Amino acid sequence: MKTKFLFSVLILCIIFNAQAQSKFERSLNEVIQAINQSTGKLQEVTVQTIEVNSISKARFGGGHTRQLVPINLPPGTQKWYYRVTVMPVNSNYKYLANETFYYTLANHLSKEAYSPTNGGIDFFLLSSSGDATSFSETGNNNFRYLDGYQRLKSNSFIGEGTNSEIGHPNLYIGIRNDNMTEGLKAIVEVVAWGHFQ
Predicted local confidence at residue 22, as pLDDT: 39
Residue 86 lies inside a defined structural domain of this protein:
yes
Residue 10 — pLDDT band, cuts 50, 70, 90? very low
Find the domain containing 177 and state its range: 26-194
Residue 91 lies inside a defined structural domain of this protein:
yes
Distances (CA, A) of 63 to 20, 59, 117: 32, 8, 21
What does the pLDDT average to over 68-86? 94
Name the domain count of the chain. 1
Q: What is 130-149 written as a DSSP string?
A: HHHHHHHSTT-------TT-
Residue 162 lies inside a defined structural domain of this protein:
yes
Distances (CA, A) of 83 to 6, 137, 155, 180: 37, 24, 11, 25
Residue 37 lies inside a defined structural domain of this protein:
yes
Residue 13 lies inside a defined structural domain of this protein:
no
Task: Please tell me what DSSP assigns to residue 15.
Answer: H
Cα–Cα dist 46/173, whole Å? 11
Q: Over the stretch 96-106, which tens digit does the pLDDT of each residue have?
A: 999 999 999 99
Residue 17 lies inside a defined structural domain of this protein:
no
Residue 47 lies inside a defined structural domain of this protein:
yes
Distant-in-sequence contacts of 103-108, Cβ < 8 A, 24+ apart: 104/28, 105/31, 105/32, 105/35, 105/42, 105/81, 105/191, 105/193, 106/42, 108/32, 108/36
% the chain with pLDDT above 90: 54
CATH number assigned to the domain comprising residue 142:
2.60.120
Residue 12 — pLDDT band, cuts 50, 70, 90? very low
Q: Which residue has the higher pLDDT, 164 or 106?
A: 106
Residue 64 lies inside a defined structural domain of this protein:
yes
